[in-house]
Structure 1
Amino acid sequence: LTLTNAQDMTLQRKVVQAAQYLPEAQATHRTLTEGLAAGQQVQLLLHLEVKGAVPAGYKLVLFYP
């Protein structure tokens, strides 16, 4: 996750692991432990607290670590 300012310059960058945002019940769910099928969707919710910087946008890149 990259937070950007109004000029699209990086303010903060963070790698977020699944264990940090998935409830324990979801973290062991079969679709997440075995992977997702092509085109499959999963709804996620991530709460952020940003101190100091005032982001105007964000970029999100999903990758397998």
Structure 2
Amino acid sequence: MSEAEREARRTSAYCLAASEALSREVRLSAAAALEALDKGIDDESTQTAVAKLVRTVYDCRTAR
């Protein structure tokens, strides 16, 4: 994947994460996961942030 494609995907992901259609909890978790992925320093922190996002989405879906 080229750097331009990576940047386009990142921009798209940030726009989706900021969508008003998502609950505040999901937006915050998505932002934290994207931040961890962007930093790319600590795999454990990234995995934790992504796992939290998955749990948040699951909790919001089951709350319906």
Q: Same fold, TM exceeding 0.5?
A: no
Larger Rg: 1
TM norm structure 2: 0.23
Higher RCO structure, 1 or 2 (CA under 8 Å, sep 6+): 1
Higher strand proportion (structure 1 or 2): 1
- TM-score for the superposition, normalised by structure 1: 0.23
More helix by share: 2
